[in-house]
Structures are given as C-alpha cells and as structure tokens.
Amino acid sequence: MQLFLQNLINALQWGSFYALIALGYSMVYGILMLFNFAHGDIFMVGAYIGFGVATGLTALAAMGTLALPNWVILVLTILISMFLTSFVGMLVERIGYRPLREAPRASAAITGLMIGIILETGNLAILGAERIRFPSLIKSTTYDLGGVFVTNKKIMIVVVSLVLMLALNEFIRRTRWGMAMRAMAFDYVVIPLMGVPLNTIASLTFALGSGLAAAAGIMFAIAYPVLDPYIGIIYGWKAFVAAILGGRGSVKGACLAGFLLGFIEIFVGAYMPSSVRDLIAYSIILLILVFRPHGFFGEPHSAKLRL
Amino acid sequence: MVEKNSASPGNPPKRFLRLRQFLGDVPLLAWLFGGLISVLIEQQVGERLANLLGLPKIPVLFGFMLAMKEPLLLPGALAYVLVLYILTIVLIGKITARPFNLMAAKMIQWPIAIPVILHLVVLYAIMHFWADISLYRELTLKLTLIAIMLTLSLNIINGYMGEFSCSHPGFMSLGAYGASAVMVLFFVNDRLFGDAILPEVLGPFLFPLALILGGIVAALGALLIAIPSFKTRGDYLAIISLAFMFIVKSLFENLQFLGGARGLKGQPDLANLPTVFIWLVICVWVINNFVRSTMGKALNAVRDDELAAEAMTVNTRRTKMVAFLFAAFWAGVAGGLFAHTVRFINPNTFGVQRLAEILAMVYFGGLNSVYGSIVGAVSLNLLGEMLRPLALFKWIIIPLLLILIMIYRPTGLVAFKEFDVRKLIQPKRKPEKEV
Amino acid sequence: MPLLQVENMTHYFGGLRAVHNFNLEIEPGQIRALIGPNGAGKTTIFNLMTGIYTPTEGRIILDGQNIVGLQPHSVASRGLGRTFQNLCLWRHMTVLEHVMMARYSRLTYGLVGAFFGTALRNREEAASKAKAMELLDLMDIAHLADQTVTNLPYGAQRRVEMARALASEPKILFLDEPTVGMTPEELDQMLGIIRTLHRDLGLAIYLIEHRLKIVMELCERIQTLVFGEVIAEGTPEEIQKNPKVIEAYLGKEAVH
C-alpha cells in the first residue's frame, strides 16, 4: 500500500508534465486542425528559457543587485518564461503555419516537424551538447506521511499544474477569447467569416499552449535539474499521443490522458523492467484508441487531409 | 543528368526557356551516353585532372565536401564539375542527339521492354563507374537508392492515398530485422544465433527470399494498423501509425534474441550495388504499374472523395488496405537492403529521426508522383552528404529549405506528375518557339 | 416484377425520424421523380437506397435481391448508378480517369495485373478506355478527356458526372438535382441528355428535383416528399392539381 501511494505521487507528478504539454497539442489540433509537431521542442525551449531566467535572477540575487528571496525568483521565473515562450510559440505559428493556411494540412505538419528540428539543432549549436544544470531554487524537504515520502517539490509541481489547468479551463469557458476559440474549433471555415479574426485566435492558441509547455518545462527542470536538447523529442511525442487520446480539442481529455500516461509509465516502471515502459504505455494507448477511435472526449469528425 | 533542368511547369523564366530550346531535342539515351562517357573519362583521367586543378584527389561528391573544408579549393572543384560532368555531358548529348533520336524512333516500335532494359543497363553502367572511384561514393549511392524505395512507398500512402502515415520506420525495422535474422541465422557464425547452418555460397540465392520475407513481416505489421484504422476516417491513421512506430521500436529494444537495444550486426555483405539497383528497378516498376492502373488510381479517388468512389463501385476499404500493405512491404524490403548495406542495425536507427527524414524526402520531392519521390530522395540524400562538413548546421539548412518548399510549393517540387516510361525514352523534338 | 422495389422504408437519425414509410416501385425503362421542398429528406432517401446509410426498417429489392445492409460499392456494382447534388468529382483526376474509374468493379485482372502489368490488364484497360471514350462522345466532352476536372466549366463537370455514372453500366440511374445551378442554356442541354438516356438507352431513371417545371416535362410519375413522408403520388397533372402539394410549395394561403 505504501509503495502504491508512493508511486501514485510520482505518477501525479509525471502526469502533470504530460498533461501540460498535451494541452498545447490538443488546443492547436482542436482549433486549427493541425498537428503541431514543433510543440515538444517548444517545451524544451521553455525549459531552457526558464534556465536562463532562473540563472540570471539567481546571479542578480547573489550579487545583491536585486536581492530577492528564492521563492520570488521561482515565481518570477515561471511567469517570465511562460511569457517569453509564448512569443516563441507565436513566432512558430507565424513562420511555419500561417503561410500554409491554404495548403494541405500535411504540409503544415511537415513544416512543424522541421521547425522542431531547427529548434533542437539551434539549441545544440548555441549551448553545445553538454547537459546543463538548472539552479536549485527550492530546498528539497521531504515529508514522511506514514511511510510515504513526499517532497515539497512534488507537491508544488502538482498544485501549480492543477492551478494552470483550471485557469485554462476557466479562460476557455468564460472569456470572450475563449468563446472565440471554441467557436473556431467548431468550424474554422465559417467562423472567420463571422468576424472572428482567425490569425489572432491562432496566435492566441499557440501562445497559450506554449506558455503551458514552458511551465511544464520549468517544473520538469525543478524535478530533474539536468537538461538536454532532446527532452522535447523524448517527452513531446508521448504527450502528443496523449493529447489525441484525450479527444480533439478537449481540455479535460488532454489532462486526463496526460495523467493516465503518467500513471501507466510509473506503475509499469515500478513492477516491470523499465525497458518495457514505452512498449506497454504505447500499446495501452493504441488499444484504447482502437476501441474509442475519437479518444475520451472527442466527437466524430471527418476532416480529410486537404490535398 | 545533373543539368537536366526540368524547369517548373508553371512559368519558367526566360533563361530556362532558352536552355530548353537548346537541349530540348536531346533524347534520354543521349544523356545517358554522355553520362557514361563522362564517368569513364573520370575513371581514366580524373585523378590527373584533379591534380591539375590543384585538388588533392577526385572530388567525391561534386566537390562540395572539399570546398567546405577548404574554401580556397572551391574554384578548382567547380571547374572539375563543370568540365568533367556538365560540359562533357551537354556536349556529347548534343552531338549524339541526332543518331540517338533515330535510334529511339526505331526502338519505340519494339516491345517496350527492350529499350527500357537498354536504358537501364547504361544507367547502371554510369552508376557503377561513378561509384568505382571510392567506397564512400558506393555507400552513398546505395543508401540513396534505398531511400528512393522508402520515399516512393511512403508516397503511396501519404501522396496517392492522402492519409498521413508515420509508421514507415517501423515497417523498415520489421523488414530489416526479419531479413537480417534469416541471413545471420543461416550464414553467419554469430553470438546470438549460433553457427552458420548453410554454406556461404547459397547466400546470394537466399538473400532475395530473406528480403521478401522481411517485406511480408512488415506487411503483416501493417495489417495490425490497417484493420482498425481504415474503419474510421480522418487523422486516425496518423496517430495509430505513430504509436505503432514507437511500439515496434521498443519491442525490438526488448527482444533480447535479436540483440535488444544493442542491435544486430554482421549481416553478410550481399547488398552490393547491382543487387540494390535491381531491387530498386523492380520496386519502381511495380509501384508505377500499380499507381497507373485503374485499381491504383482508385487511391486518388478515395483521397479526393471517398463517398463518390464508393458510389462508383470502388471498394474503398479494400483499396486502402491493399495499398497500405503494399507500401509496407516495400518499406520492409528497403529495410532489409538497408540492414545489409550498413551491416549494423539497432532499434534507434528506426526512430523519430528516420521518420522525419523519410517524410522530408516525400514532401520535398512531391506528392502523388514517382518522379517526385526520386527527386526528393536523391536531392535530400546527396544534399545531406554534401553538407556533412557543416556538422550541426546541416540540420538547420535542410529543414529551412524544406519549410521554404512547403510555403511556395505545398505539395512538393514535382507533384502530380505521371511517370510514363514511353514518354521518357521517346525521341525528342525541339520544343516550339512560343512555349 | 419491378426493377427496384422499396417497401416501408423508415429511417431515424438518433431520435429524429428522417424518412417515414417510404414505398417505391420502378419498372425497367421508367422515368420517375421525387420532388419536395428543401430539407424534405430527398437526398437521405437516395443515400438510404445506395447504401450510404442503412435504413432502420424496410426492404429494398433491386432486380430480385435485397440490397439492405450492403456496402455502397456493392450496391453500385449491382446496377444502381448515381450522381450527386454537389458534384462529387475527384479534383486531381482527368475526365477520362473519372469515367474509367467507374468501371472498377468490372476489372478482373486483380492485384497481379495491377502490379505486373499483365496482358490481361492491358486488354481490360484498353476496353475500359474505349467504353469510356464512347460515353464521353455521347456527352459531347470527348475533346476534354485529358483535362483535369477542376479546370472545366460547371456544365461540363455535370456531364463528366453523368458519364461517370453511366460507365458502371447501371440498370437504374439516380440523379440528384442534375440541373441545380445551371444557366437556362445548360439546363436545356441537360434535359436533352436525360431524354436521350431514357429513350435511346432505355435506362430507368429516378430523379430528385425541387423545381416542378422540370419534372413535369420529363417524368411519368412523381412523388412528393415533405418532412420525410410522401404526401402525394401520381402523374404530373395530378401532382400539379393536388392541394397538398401546392400547400407544401407555396404555403396555405395559396390553396384558397
């Protein structure tokens, strides 16, 4: 039981990462009907921007120019990085997707894939192949809850993720922009004719998704402070599959599927050799998709690739 | 063949028109003959010419690599390419245009197989003498030919059928492991499979069977995806096939009797240039036959309007399944050839990176087109090799190039062009003045 | 025995009743029409009979065989050809390819022929091409054979669709609003084509229209569909006088 609870907590943490990344995929897919294959790398870029901001702020604090307590630095890092990464996302949309709005959707997927490669390589070219260490902003404290050990980091990660997810949900459900996004997801051919600016909504979608990915990146870096340029590929593709599993454009679905993926991975890892983790995780997802072709909360739709 | 500038069908610039005017009457056979002469000259005097131009050795890939390592050698390399390839081929092509046109006019009357085989023999001779210069050239050439097979087979699904499949690396690995396992089991003293069972002499005879077996394994894998996928329309196949690719990859990582994550090595060296060439010819021939038949064109009908296809008696589900399995088969064969060319495979060879590569070749060259697949595979492969000295920046330049192509020609360079052998080899006449 | 017989066909979309108790008999060589205001369910009836939807209840008998539950392509290859209201052409294919495609189910060369280009395949493809050219001639568009359909004017596209539907050699042809969106001139030509098919080829034709005038000229018997139910059936004259039809088309006031 203790082992189970311990794993449960780990699974929640991993689920948070996956869910946050999956949201970005899911929103772009839901609203613009595009596979944003660059999103995994935006997560990676987010983590690196977070690294830059955190290092900068810690250095300032150490020099005494801007003596902020660590928790303030953390909050600032998350906020600033989310903000900056949103611009990366918007840039990706502007360069890779907007010129291809009339083109077949598959071509846009290819540009996305290529932008992802450029982001990875660019990172390698700028920072080199060495892994970098994320500055430790919170001192790790472990609480013993009856044999189950929980660190404050894990609690923070799960709580912040949940807060972000709820905030996104509220944004989409309650604000005017959110309503425009939902309308666009419903029909992205007709709705722009009704005066909803397609380009603005597309930018907004990419910005929101990228912001969440940046948050995921920073929290990933807090939990596992060693970064390399390939984290985007490793976790991004899994999150992509999770996003689709959740159902087209469903916030609930993407979160649920993200957490499910986290659970599968942790529990497989706990009871079986870790090399079969991917095998089982993907097989389960495949099986679910065979029986629920539109994912958890998706509705049947039949958009063919426009060729 | 380098300068056979088939300018874009839209509105070619004036310069191209003049070039077309000048070279329009040169038949394919004359081009090939020019190429053959040029590679023969290179074999005889290439070394000396290179020295004369101040180059340390024959430029392996059109002088790009040399020039990038030592920019000062660039003029020499350019001169080499210009003299040896471009000038020779154009000159000989132009001079021999008339006799070869007469010959082509005669040959077109014969059964089509005879002139086609003649062209292929000359083409192979060119490749043979070109690759003879260095092992590196031979390897690059073989990998390029295999890449054509992969690209063409993926084009069936992503181009002709208009679905988005991501599982090609998976099929490739199924074929590669299938063929390798058979060959290593029978012919190699191996740690995993024990001693060789059959004498080595039989290797070349069993190799085609092993490749076909690899293809069949891949097709069976494809069946697993096809059954659920083609019930639902839309983007379903993209996701299922992506998951499938990851599943196959981690499956091989866990199959210890196939080497697990460390991989399988020591495949017998049977994929030589003629073997790869023959397989490629068969692959192009069969695929081109298929896509030009009404049964193959049914794929286009399914892509453009599935409902109308059904109403016009096309069994759409069967059509899609057949095409998908067919494509997977060829990916498997290509995988087997790949394994025996590089003679070492591990599961990581067949990951996301490979997927990006194959997709890039398909979309670069052009959808729904055999020409496109050949152009895409050849140009991206050669470009990749040429830019190798740039190391990392290669992976910035190629993606940028592809993004530009996607923006200006979203379906690729030579999309929707029928590959008609008869048209290709027929005698050529000067194009009209006002094209 | 009638060529096509539909008995008590009823269909629900979810809880919504789209078609109620629909009956139809078409004799060989007969030309009939289904009229009704927009949204009455006319196209749904076509889709039910051609196998795109499976009716909730009822039987559809084509040439003595029950075709309920068959895939659309099997229904089509059993002799039920159709055109679409909104021109479902294949945008990257040529006119000739369109017409040849409809002969798909008549090809017997199979995968071996498709992959290896056997003599049988060459023969069958050549025969198919000859037949297709014949039909293009009939439709007066033989000179457009190698054009991609998206380059053609609307009237020509309609003819391509017609030629395509004929290429599968149907026993009965369903035409879904064949004259919609046409200029008066194109409309006259289309009526001419339909008459030719009926008279010279002896095809049975079942036509959807919402313009009364056209069916009055062409058809022997007419059914009027409103909200998924047939409210009137008869000869053009009977339909024209039927107060229920006038009401459905013009509103209640017009009757009085």
Q: What percent of chain B lies above the pLDDT cut of 70?
A: 94
Segment B168-177, tens digit of pLDDT: 999 999 999 9
- Give the pLDDT confidence score for residue C232 in this predicted structure: 87
A109-131 average pLDDT score:
89
Classify residue C22 by its DSSP letter: E
Segment C134-156, tens digit of pLDDT: 999 999 999 999 999 999 998 89
**Minimal Cα distance from C76: which residue of B?**
B313
Say yes or no for a CB contact (<8 Å) between B310 and C52.
yes
From B101, B132, B163, the end of a domain falls on B132
Segment B289-310, tens digit of pLDDT: 999 999 999 999 999 988 999 9
**Minimal Cα distance from B397: which residue of A?**
A118
Whether the pLDDT of residue A307 is over 70: the answer is no
For residues B302-337, one letter each, b for 16 or more C-beta atoms within 10 angstroms of the residue's C-beta and e for the rest, the string is bbbbbebbbbbbbbbbebbbbbbbbbbbbbbbbbbb
Statement to judge: residues B226 and B202 lie in one domain: yes
Q: Which residues of C touch B316 (CB under 8 A)?
A: 73
* Closest approach of B98 to chain C, Cα-based (Å): 31
CB-side neighbour CA atoms (13 Å) of B380: 32
From C126, C144, C169, the end of a domain falls on C169
Q: Which domain holds residue B79?
A: 11-132
The CATH number covering residue C181 comes to 3.40.50.300
Segment B252-274, tens digit of pLDDT: 999 888 888 888 888 888 889 99
Statement to judge: residues C162 and C56 lie in one domain: no
Q: Which of B162, B363, B399 sits opposite A118 (nearest CB)?
A: B399
Q: Is C105 exposed, middle or buried (0-12, 13-18, 19+ CB in 10 A)?
A: middle
3-state secondary structure of A122: helix
- Give the pLDDT confidence score for residue B234 in this predicted structure: 67
Question: Which has the closest alpha carbon to A89: A134, A34, A133?
Answer: A34
Statement to judge: residues C256 and C176 lie in one domain: yes
B369-393 average pLDDT score:
89
The encoded tokens of residue C107 equal 């090809």
Q: Which residues of B touch C81 (CB under 8 A)?
A: 311
B12: left (phi over 0), alpha (psi -120 to 50) or beta: beta
Say yes or no for a CB contact (<8 Å) between B393 and A110.
no
Statement to judge: residues C112 and C149 lie in one domain: yes
Say yes or no for a CB contact (<8 Å) between B294 and C111.
no
A227-252 average pLDDT score:
88
Statement to judge: residues B126 and B163 lie in one domain: no
Among the ranges given (A288-297, C2-11, C172-181), the one the predictor scored with the smallest mean pLDDT: A288-297
**Minimal Cα distance from B416: which residue of C?**
C92
Statement to judge: residues B111 and B142 lie in one domain: no
Assembly ipTM: 0.90
For chain A, the domains span 19-232
**Minimal Cα distance from B417: which residue of C?**
C92
Say yes or no for a CB contact (<8 Å) between A302 and B234.
yes
Segment C46-88, tens digit of pLDDT: 999 999 999 999 999 998 889 998 999 999 999 999 999 888 8
Statement to judge: residues C55 and C117 lie in one domain: no
- Give the pLDDT confidence score for residue B56 in this predicted structure: 80
Q: How many domains does chain C have?
A: 2
Statement to judge: residues C175 and C254 lie in one domain: yes
Largest CA distance in chain C: 71
B410 touches C at CB < 8 Å: no
Q: Is B197 exposed, middle or buried (0-12, 13-18, 19+ CB in 10 A)?
A: exposed
The CATH number covering residue B342 comes to 1.10.3470
Say yes or no for a CB contact (<8 Å) between C101 and B309.
yes
Q: pTM for the whole thing?
A: 0.92
C12 touches B at CB < 8 Å: no
- Give the pLDDT confidence score for residue C183 in this predicted structure: 85
Q: What are phi and psi of C60, to 5 degrees?
A: -125, 115
Q: Which domain holds residue C16?
A: 1-79+170-256
Q: How many domains does chain B have?
A: 2
Whether the pLDDT of residue B434 is over 50: the answer is no
Classify residue A66 by its DSSP letter: T
Q: How far apart are the first and last CA of chain A?
A: 54
Choose from A148-162, B353-367, C228-242 the range with maximum mean pLDDT.
B353-367
* Closest approach of B376 to chain C, Cα-based (Å): 21
Chains touching A (at least 3 CB pairs under 8 A) are B
B416 touches C at CB < 8 Å: yes
DSSP secondary structure string for all residues of A142-192: EEEETTEEEEHHHHHHHHHHHHHHHHHHHHHHHSHHHHHHHHHHH-TTTGG
Residues paired with residue A142 on neighbouring β-strands, in sequence order: A151
Statement to judge: residues B30 and B172 lie in one domain: no
